[in-house]
């Protein structure tokens, strides 16, 4: 197809091509034949490396520029006509000023290159939940990733018909110049412009840019929610499946929880976990008054380091075919890939993520600069290749959510799990989330920062208005999910994680679901409902009741310190923080001083 019938699409592409001046324009049609041509071309230029096709069929390796390895929150902008609509937590630029500034960077940026047109759908093509985007890019790597992460092709254009309702995404790698790297969102125009990066979250525009920043803006207008949440189904021995949505910040365990394998104790009884999504959920009120969720994505863009046969065998199996690896170690002997935490056999003859020979003997766990794989190295893999993918993955209606779980990475303060009192209190619990920063975004790692609902980098409007939207949604859901908070990352005096985590997190999910069904009592504390230590099943674990009590402890002093930090954060968000949340904060403070 040279041109589609949609005049809005064509006019926009003409305009963008006049600015970027590509040598040619190629439409991505979603066919395997075209995808293979693109892979071959990218191999011939060195953009990707074909891996061992017997061991890793249809798998490839890519290395980004060394200065371009994570999302750049400092260079991510929300460009609303009024600054206050973007809010204090987002970076803001005036839309006109931003278009002007970036036009200069895009001008002629595709000379000598091809502009690829990627029509994609977030959500099952043509379903009520789905939304369409078109990404223009000069990168084959982006095309190949989008072919995995989203539903791409001619059928998307058919579904669009002659409508103007699509998200216009423009991306150019340009010179990958850090100083001129911009990830800009124009929610009022359904537009995203990204320039001078070639890394995942900055350039796969269907993901964070559209499915969270633009979609959260649309969701507020249209009465639904776009959240940084995994979705999983927990099946009991009778075949009954309950669904949980969980929001953890980047690199804090969503993919791992979404694909967990139950501990032996539960496996033997016949419990199973099914993955619906690992990163993003779009949620709406269903006709039955419950909250229903879909995963708008088609694949996983998962953290590679730490993924292994024990921690996440399902993710590992998913990456054994049709996968693009980014910034991992290249094992030259087998032409395969490796990363820290895969196994105890680092390859002897290897190339690191920067493209240099790598000597594993010089690897020092405490010094990230000696890593073979970048700490934020990733795999891009098809959801349908996941052994535990839910039968509801392609459902048009999504799945009904019984529990929403918030969670952060916190060495202290937050207990293993607690339950909020109701939707309003649960919204408060989400709003005061905090987590140690990770390598998923550029900047310092391990610093505690407030990250409401794990959405701090992804809300496309004012954070106070976002909290208000949560409260408003609560009033519209006759049968709302119960809201919980978890923390897998509490550490002991030596800095070691106390809770075993990974598959054993199922033990906590079991308590959560039991609470949803009023099957277990809880202890009423200052922060909410905490399990009785004996109600978390520790059969088969080498931790005892005392450790469980330690994990569940509410340390009043550190919570009081947290309250001060929350006050400062609410102030920083500004005057749109709902009064209801200040009431909740006052209640918490009062409870803590009792
Ligand atoms: P994004 O894709 O960036 O949104 O990350 P994510 O939230 O999906 O995180 P992921 O599941 O990839 O986990 C990130 C890191 O946390 C990996 O290094 C995991 O090994 C580690 N991790 C995940 N779950 C647990 C857990 O239960 N306990 C511990 N200690 N570490 C965990
Ligand atoms: C995250 O950082 O939350 C990710 C990876 O899921 S990225 O696509 O880069 O946003
Ligand atoms: Mn994420």
Name residue, tokens 């000023």. Answer: 97
Ligand 1 atom closest to the CA of 303, numbered from 1? 12
Residue 590 confidence (pLDDT): 98
Burial class (CB in 10 A: 0-12, 13-18, 19+), 343: exposed
CB within 8 A of 371, min separation 6: which ones? 305, 340, 352, 353, 363
Residue 4 confidence (pLDDT): 85
Any atom of ligand 2 within 6 Å of the Cβ of 457: no
**Distance from C-alpha of 422 to C-alpha of 285, rounded to nearest angstrom:** 17
Q: How far is the CA of 521 from the centre of ligand 3 (A)?
A: 33
Per the structure block, which two tokens stand in for 397? 């209606």
Any atom of ligand 2 within 6 Å of the Cβ of 138: no
Residue 2 confidence (pLDDT): 55
Residues catalogued as catalytic: 252
Any atom of ligand 1 within 6 Å of the Cβ of 9: no
Q: How far is the CA of 310 from the centre of ligand 1 (A)?
A: 13
Q: How far is the CA of 22 from the centre of ligand 2 (A)?
A: 29
DSSP 209: I
Measured by CA distance, the residue closest to atom 27 of ligand 1 is 501
Any atom of ligand 1 within 6 Å of the Cβ of 87: no
472-503 residue pLDDT tens:
999 999 999 999 999 999 999 999 999 999 99
**Distance from C-alpha of 160 to C-alpha of 79, rounded to nearest angstrom:** 26
**Distance from C-alpha of 25 to C-alpha of 113, rounded to nearest angstrom:** 9
Any atom of ligand 2 within 6 Å of the Cβ of 208: yes
Best mutation site among 76, 279, 453 for ligand 2, i.e. most ligand atoms within 8 A of its Cβ? 279
CA geometry: angle at 46 spanning 44 and 47, to 5°? Answer: 110
Any atom of ligand 2 within 6 Å of the Cβ of 440: yes
Any atom of ligand 1 within 6 Å of the Cβ of 501: yes
Any atom of ligand 1 within 6 Å of the Cβ of 311: yes
Q: How far is the CA of 275 from the centre of ligand 2 (A)?
A: 18
Q: How far is CA 318 from CA 233, 281, 388, in A?
A: 18, 20, 9
Q: How far is the CA of 159 from the centre of ligand 3 (A)?
A: 28
Determine contact, residues 80/461, Cβ cutoff 8 Å: yes
Other beta carbons within 10 angstroms of residue 114's beta carbon come to 17
Measured by CA distance, the residue closest to atom 28 of ligand 1 is 501
Measured by CA distance, the residue closest to atom 1 of ligand 2 is 250
Q: How far is the CA of 280 from the centre of ligand 3 (A)?
A: 7
Determine contact, residues 456/388, Cβ cutoff 8 Å: no
Residue 179's region, left for phi above 0, alpha for psi from -120 to 50, else beta, is: alpha
Taking alpha carbons only, the member of 483, 487, 482, 506 closest to residue 415 is 487
Measured by CA distance, the residue closest to atom 8 of ligand 2 is 201
Nearest ligand to the C-alpha atom of residue 277: 1
Q: How far is the CA of 559 from the centre of ligand 2 (A)?
A: 29
Residue 589 confidence (pLDDT): 98
Measured by CA distance, the residue closest to atom 13 of ligand 1 is 253
- What are the pLDDT tens digits along the chain (594 aa)? 456 899 999 999 999 999 999 999 999 999 999 999 999 999 999 999 999 999 999 999 999 999 999 999 999 999 999 999 999 999 999 999 999 999 999 999 999 999 999 999 999 998 999 999 999 999 999 999 999 999 999 999 999 999 999 999 999 999 999 999 999 999 999 999 999 999 999 999 999 999 999 999 999 999 999 999 999 999 999 999 999 999 999 999 999 999 999 999 999 999 999 999 999 999 999 999 999 999 999 999 999 999 999 999 999 999 999 999 999 999 999 999 999 999 999 999 999 999 999 999 988 878 888 999 999 999 999 999 999 999 999 999 999 999 999 999 999 999 999 999 999 999 999 999 999 999 999 999 999 999 999 999 999 999 999 999 999 999 999 999 999 999 999 999 999 999 999 999 999 999 999 999 999 999 999 999 999 999 999 999 999 999 999 999 999 999 999 999 999 999 999 999 999 999 999 999 999 999
Q: How far is CA 272 from CA 94, 254, 258, 269, 510, in A?
A: 50, 17, 12, 9, 12
Best mutation site among 251, 280, 442, 457 for ligand 2, i.e. most ligand atoms within 8 A of its Cβ? 251
Q: How far is the CA of 301 from the centre of ligand 1 (A)?
A: 12
Nearest ligand to the C-alpha atom of residue 416: 1
Measured by CA distance, the residue closest to atom 22 of ligand 1 is 253
Measured by CA distance, the residue closest to atom 3 of ligand 2 is 250
**Distance from C-alpha of 280 to C-alpha of 231, rounded to nearest angstrom:** 8
First-to-last CA distance in the chain? 70
Work out the mean pLDDT of the chain and round it to a whole number: 97
Measured by CA distance, the residue closest to atom 4 of ligand 2 is 250
Residue 3 confidence (pLDDT): 67
Best mutation site among 70, 256, 276, 492 for ligand 1, i.e. most ligand atoms within 8 A of its Cβ? 256
Residue 292 main-chain phi, psi, to 5 deg: -110, 145
**What is the DSSP annotation of 451-506?**
-GGG-TTT-SS-HHHHHHHHHHHHHH-SSPPEEEEE-S--B-TTS-BSS--GGGGH
């Amino acid at each position: 197809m040279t041109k589609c019938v949609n005049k809005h699409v064509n006019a926009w592409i003409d305009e963008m091509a006049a600015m970027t001046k590509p040598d040619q324009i190629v439409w991505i049609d979603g066919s395997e034949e075209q995808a293979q041509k693109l892979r071959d071309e990218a191999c011939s230029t060195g953009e990707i490396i074909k891996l061992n096709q017997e061991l890793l069929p249809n798998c490839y390796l890519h290395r980004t520029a060394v200065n371009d390895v994570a999302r750049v929150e400092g260079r991510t902008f929300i460009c609303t006509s009024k600054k206050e609509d973007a809010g204090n937590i987002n970076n803001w630029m005036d839309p006109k000023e931003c278009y002007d500034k970036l036009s200069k960077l895009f001008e002629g940026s595709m000379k000598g290159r091809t502009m690829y047109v990627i029509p994609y759908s977030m959500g099952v093509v043509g379903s009520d939940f789905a939304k369409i985007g078109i990404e223009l890019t000069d990168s084959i790597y982006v095309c190949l990733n989008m072919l995995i992460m989203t539903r791409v092709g001619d059928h998307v254009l058919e579904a669009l018909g002659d409508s103007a309702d699509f998200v216009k995404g423009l991306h150019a790698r340009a010179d990958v110049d850090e100083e001129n790297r911009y990830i800009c969102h124009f929610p009022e125009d359904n537009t995203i412009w990204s320039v001078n990066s070639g890394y995942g979250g900055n350039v796969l525009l269907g993901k964070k840019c559209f499915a969270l920043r633009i979609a959260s803006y649309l969701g507020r207008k249209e009465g639904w929610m776009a959240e940084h949440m995994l979705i999983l189904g927990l099946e009991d021995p009778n075949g009954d499946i309950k669904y949980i949505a969980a929001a953890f910040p980047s690199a804090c365990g969503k993919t791992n929880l979404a694909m967990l394998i139950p501990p032996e104790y539960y496996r033997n009884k016949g419990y199973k976990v099914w993955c619906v999504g690992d990163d993003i959920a779009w949620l709406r009120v269903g006709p039955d008054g419950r909250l229903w969720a879909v995963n708008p994505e088609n694949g996983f863009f998962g953290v590679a380091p730490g993924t292994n046969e024990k921690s996440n065998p399902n993710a590992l199996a998913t990456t054994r075919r049709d996968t693009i690896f980014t910034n991992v170690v290249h094992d030259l002997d087998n032409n395969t890939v490796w990363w820290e935490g895969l196994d105890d056999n680092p390859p002897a003859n290897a190339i690191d993520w920067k493209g240099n020979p790598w000597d594993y003997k010089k690897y020092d766990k405490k010094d990230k600069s000696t890593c073979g794989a970048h700490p934020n190295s990733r795999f891009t893999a098809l959801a349908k290749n996941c052994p535990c993918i839910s039968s509801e993955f392609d459902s048009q209606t999504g799945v009904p959510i019984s529990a929403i779980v918030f969670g952060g990475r916190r060495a202290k303060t937050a207990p293993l799990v607690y339950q909020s009192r109701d939707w309003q209190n649960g919204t408060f619990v989400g709003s005061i989330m905090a987590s140690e920063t990770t390598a998923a975004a550029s900047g310092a790692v391990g610093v505690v920062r407030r990250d409401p609902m794990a959405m701090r980098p992804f809300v496309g409007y004012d954070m106070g208005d976002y909290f208000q939207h949560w409260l408003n949604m609560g009033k519209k859901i006759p049968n709302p999910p119960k809201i919980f908070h978890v923390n897998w990352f509490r550490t002991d005096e030596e800095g070691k994680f106390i809770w075993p985590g990974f598959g054993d997190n199922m033990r906590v999910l079991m308590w959560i679901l039991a609470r949803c069904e009023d099957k277990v009592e809880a202890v009423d504390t200052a922060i909410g409902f905490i399990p009785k230590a004996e109600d978390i099943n520790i059969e088969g674990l080498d931790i005892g009741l005392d450790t469980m009590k330690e994990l569940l402890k509410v340390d009043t002093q550190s919570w009081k310190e947290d309250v001060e930090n929350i006050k400062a954060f609410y102030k920083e968000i500004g005057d749109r923080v709902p009064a209801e949340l200040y009431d909740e904060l006052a209640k918490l403070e009062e409870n803590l001083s009792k």
